[in-house]
Amino acid sequence: PVVRRTDYRPPAWLVPDIALDFDLDPATTRVAARLEVRRNGGHDAPLRLDGAGQTPLAVRVDGQAINDWRIEGEDLVVPLGGDAHVVETEVEIEPDRNTQLMGLYASGGNLCTQCEAEGFRRITFFPDRPDILSRYVVRLSADKSRFPVLLANGDPVASGDLPGGRHWAEWRDPFPKPSYLFALVAGDLAVNRGTFTTRSGREVQLGIWVRAADLPRTDHALHALKLSMAWDERVYGREYDLDVFNIVAVDDFNFGAMENKGLNIFNSRYILADPDTATDYDYDGIAAVVAHEYFHNWSGNRVTCRDWFQLSLKEGFTVYRDQGFSADQGSAAVKRIEDVRGLRAAQFPEDAGPLAHPVRPDEYLEISNFYTATIYNKGAELIRMMATILGPQAFRAATDLYFDRFDGTAATCEDFVLCMEEASGRDLSQFRRWYSQAGTPRIAASIEHQPGGGRATLRLGQHVPATPGQPEKQPMVIPLRLRLFGAETGRPLTDEQLVLLDQPAETIVFEAITERPVLSINRGFSAPVIVESDRSAADLAFLSAHDDDPFARYEAMQQLMLDTMVAGAIEGVADHRPVVSAVLNTLEDAELDYAFMAEVMLLPAESFVGDQLAVVDPEAVHRAREALRRAIGRGLLDSWRHLYDVLQQGPYAYTPEAKGKRRLRGVALGYIAAAGDPEAGALAFRQFEAADNMTDRQSAMTVLANGDFAEREAALDIFYNRYSDNGLVLDKWFQTQALSTRGDTAAVVETLAAHPDFTLANPNRARSLIGAFGANQRAFHAADGRGYRFLADQLIALDRLNPQTAAKLLPPLGRWRRFDEHRGTQMRAELERIVATPGLSKDLFEQASKSLEG
């Protein structure tokens, strides 16, 4: 049954208070729920509670057992006269058999929950929708030796022992919350404790809970939490509101983490880190996700979503907030580059394919399928554009107004935009199309200069491509930061301007432009659009050296590299010299920091090059990219060797400077290998063995894994043996091989799927092999179609265990329109095989069937 945004109706019954009593056991857990229900408005509808699979053992109304309840579909329907009642139910659930990892489940011998979006109904009967806010009192009881720690939302109230080796604890959350924010954890856990004193003097007890053996890997997460709490006070005026804030790490988790009130539950990969097992990239990811979940306490929990069509209200805004946090920890320019790279790798293809949907979707079959790059990352870009249009002061006034006005309520995207308008006096009516129209706008930009007259004319045009269900589009409001530079002198010819392009085509005239202007546009990536300009290789090289906006410098270099590889893929040859000399300019620029240099000199991924072609030819893209890599490697080999040597560091430190050096040294090693330097294998292997940190070890292993080096197998074996007891590091071992650019990767991945350490039951492991393989354009699109068959086989198997994670891994198969007839036919055949599988989940069905249509 399709759910439609326009079908929203306020709930018939409210549940201001709920008391839950859990008799916990991995095999059979008994859940008793006591709901205080109140009729909402004048109607005579019965009380309808969502459930999933369970049958109630008992139903009582106002203390009396009743038997006129019924199950309709999966709902429990209780006929009720009057306006206020106490409804009690008892159910049994089986955490041990919960392989979907939604609701109450077991992970590593502990019990934990995941309720967003619709997991609470798998725990107890309840109106499981985000606009029902309840105060929760939760009592947990369990075997004391197996589950010495009992946690739930809010503050601890009391605890004690029970006969038979059991014990109990009670928790109370004073803040009314929707059911998707409910959480409990029972387990054998150790804690890293800290405190944070809020600006008004509340002392908050912080705890990071993990297996005892993992305790030494929790300091970074705890530190990031304290930084996040301080940052949200300083930047958004948001203070924490309970006496405790707990985070629990679990190994089996469907996504990154979950912002349950006062009790965040995390995928352990976003908590655990030490230099020997986590890369700099992992460290950054941990800080970002800890911040993200913490920031949800205001953008998500205190103000939640009215319905799931409003998901980006909390997710887009919270991603924007965590991006701001991360930008403030180190280089803002590098952070912006990373975010845009991520947007282009995941969201642009989504927006251009069969699963394209607006930031505020209109309908869904399974809401879990809408936790997408569009909702999260494009959603964050929408907030960023509004912040740009309003300016910092008005934007802050608008978020203050939003938090103040909607505190304690379930709000909509429209409410947020209204606050932006009210606080700034701006009219955002046309801007709202960003919420309703899918597809990445394409901006055409060309500039004409009359040498004598000094007049420059900039012509801008916009076009939003058709997407499934949206054949016609209206023009959007596109905020474009731009500036002109003089081609001869390199000087800026204008100030930076913010142009709000809101027509299909516009012309902007600049007077007194005394030399030929070079256009710097969409600076800082001010809008999530594709700019098509006719700038020459020389102009792009010029901007990559002279633009004063770091993002624009990166962007010019990327465009130059992209144009070169596209030419190479189409024509078989390309002129590599402009790229090589632009890279040399970057290498010689003493003012640039290491991390930024590394970002600028890295080639765009094969899949992004493929995205630029009318029909993707994966082998041609691979050849063109390798050819350019070789040219950069060979042409500048002395510089790479020199850089590699001078960037050698003393003992490991996690500082922006040391991180930048590691990153740049990794790039240098990659180019030395690309040059075909006969010593490259030995050099990489030496780094692999000598490294005192995972960043250097992994970057060396990646270089070896992508090539034909004699040291390749040895490095992979050493790595495997050294880390075979650490699941998160083993994931890297699988992932590095699945991402390999070698020609035999499809076959290797099939073998790895039969490796004793491979399992579909753990989502991280499944993603490390199958997800990485789907992202490997060359290997996945092997012409014989084995990659397609492999992915379909794996998804069908995974769907029986964990539909959500299976559905998340499907999109690479849906890109059949982008490939030649031969590949496209094979991809469609696999999608059809998936759709025809008996007993398919609606998660996978929705993704596969939409992928066939769109």
Q: Which residues are catalytic?
A: 293
**Residue 322 site contact among Zn ion, ligand ARG, none (CB < 5 to 8 Å, cut-off depends on kind):** none
Draw the binding track, 268-307, toward ligand ARG (x: CB under 6 A; -: no contact): ------------------------xx--------------
End-to-end, the C-alpha distance of the chain in Å comes to 19
Helix, strand, coil percentages (3-state) for the chain, rounded to 5, are: 45, 20, 30
By CB under 6 A, the count of residues binding ligand ARG is 12
Q: Residue 687 interacts with ligand ARG (CB under 6 A)?
A: no
Q: CA torsion 376→377→379→385, rounded to 10°?
A: 160
3-class DSSP assignment, residue 13 = strand
Name the residue among 811, 847, 813 with its Cα closest to residue 830: 813
Q: Are 95 and 26 in contact (CB under 8 A)?
A: yes
Least distance (Å) between residue 254 CB and ligand ARG: 6
Q: Residue 259 interacts with ligand ARG (CB under 6 A)?
A: yes
**Residue 340 site contact among ligand ARG, Zn ion, none (CB < 5 to 8 Å, cut-off depends on kind):** none
Q: Which stretch binds ligand ARG (CB under 6 A): 256-264, 350-358, 725-733, 820-828?
A: 256-264
Starting at the earlier edge strand, list the strands of the sheet with 530-533: 505-510, 455-463, 442-450, 530-533
Q: Which amino acid is at 801?
A: L
By CB under 5 A, the count of residues binding Zn ion is 2
Kindly tell me which of 284 and 563 has the beta carbon lying closer to ligand ARG: 284
Q: Which stretch binds ligand ARG (CB under 6 A): 126-134, 254-262, 335-343, 696-704?
A: 254-262
**Residue 258 site contact among ligand ARG, Zn ion, none (CB < 5 to 8 Å, cut-off depends on kind):** ligand ARG
List phi, psi (to 5°) of 33: -120, 140
Q: Residue 50 interacts with ligand ARG (CB under 6 A)?
A: no
Q: Which residue has the tokens 């103000």?
A: 303
DSSP state of 262: T
**Residue 117 site contact among ligand ARG, Zn ion, none (CB < 5 to 8 Å, cut-off depends on kind):** ligand ARG
Q: State both tokens at 707.
A: 């090539």
Q: Are 107 and 189 in contact (CB under 8 A)?
A: no
Sign of CA dihedral 107, 112, 118, 124: positive
Least distance (Å) between residue 445 CB and ligand ARG: 35
Q: How far apart, in Å, are the Cα atoms of 115 and each of 200, 259, 501, 843? A: 32, 10, 42, 16
Q: In whole angstroms, what is the distance from residue 22 CA to residue 171 CA?
A: 12
Least distance (Å) between residue 758 CB and Zn ion: 29
Q: How far apart, in Å, are the Cα atoms of 647 and each of 282, 425, 581, 641, 677? A: 21, 52, 22, 10, 19
Least distance (Å) between residue 775 CB and Zn ion: 22
Sign of CA dihedral 558, 561, 564, 567: negative
Q: Which stretch binds Zn ion (CB under 5 A): 43-51, 315-323, 393-401, 464-472?
A: 315-323
**Residue 371 site contact among Zn ion, ligand ARG, none (CB < 5 to 8 Å, cut-off depends on kind):** ligand ARG
Q: Residue 315 interacts with ligand ARG (CB under 6 A)?
A: yes
Least distance (Å) between residue 804 CB and ligand ARG: 6
**Residue 255 site contact among ligand ARG, Zn ion, none (CB < 5 to 8 Å, cut-off depends on kind):** ligand ARG
Q: Residue 711 interacts with ligand ARG (CB under 6 A)?
A: no
Least distance (Å) between residue 267 CB and ligand ARG: 10
DSSP state of 202: P
Q: State both tokens at 546.
A: 């002279």
Q: Residue 131 interacts with ligand ARG (CB under 6 A)?
A: no
Residues 6+ apart with CB under 8 A from 696: 662, 665, 666, 687, 688
Q: Which amino acid is at 390?
A: L
3-class DSSP assignment, residue 175 = strand
Q: Residue 182 interacts with ligand ARG (CB under 6 A)?
A: no
Kindly tell me which of 558 and 805 has the beta carbon lying closer to Zn ion: 805
Q: State both tokens at 744.
A: 């035999």
Q: In whole angstroms, what is the distance from residue 824 CA to residue 488 CA?
A: 48
Give me the residue whose beta carbon is nearest to ligand ARG. 371
Q: Which residue has the tokens 């009219």?
A: 427
Of 175, 231, 245, 255, the one binding ligand ARG (CB under 6 A) is: 255
Least distance (Å) between residue 684 CB and ligand ARG: 36
Residues 6+ apart with CB under 8 A from 351: 374, 378, 438, 439, 440, 467
List phi, psi (to 5°) of 294: -65, -45
Least distance (Å) between residue 259 CB and Zn ion: 6
Kindly tell me which of 246 and 586 has the beta carbon lying closer to ligand ARG: 246
Kindly tell me which of 416 and 788 has the beta carbon lying closer to ligand ARG: 416
Least distance (Å) between residue 829 CB and ligand ARG: 29
Chain residues 362-421 in contact with ligand ARG, contact rule CB under 6 A: 368, 371
Q: Which residue has the tokens 């083993």?
A: 730
Kindly tell me which of 257 and 383 has the beta carbon lying closer to ligand ARG: 257
**Residue 50 site contact among ligand ARG, Zn ion, none (CB < 5 to 8 Å, cut-off depends on kind):** none
Kindly tell me which of 114 and 737 has the beta carbon lying closer to ligand ARG: 114
Least distance (Å) between residue 301 CB and Zn ion: 11
Sign of CA dihedral 658, 664, 668, 673: positive
Q: Residue 252 interacts with ligand ARG (CB under 6 A)?
A: no
Q: Residue 116 interacts with ligand ARG (CB under 6 A)?
A: yes
Of 150, 185, 186, 257, the one binding ligand ARG (CB under 6 A) is: 257
Name the residue among 13, 60, 99 with its Cα closest to residue 841: 99
Give residues in contact with Zn ion (CB under 5 A): 315, 318
Residues forming contacts to ligand ARG in the complex (CB under 6 A) are: 116-117, 255-259, 292-293, 315, 368, 371
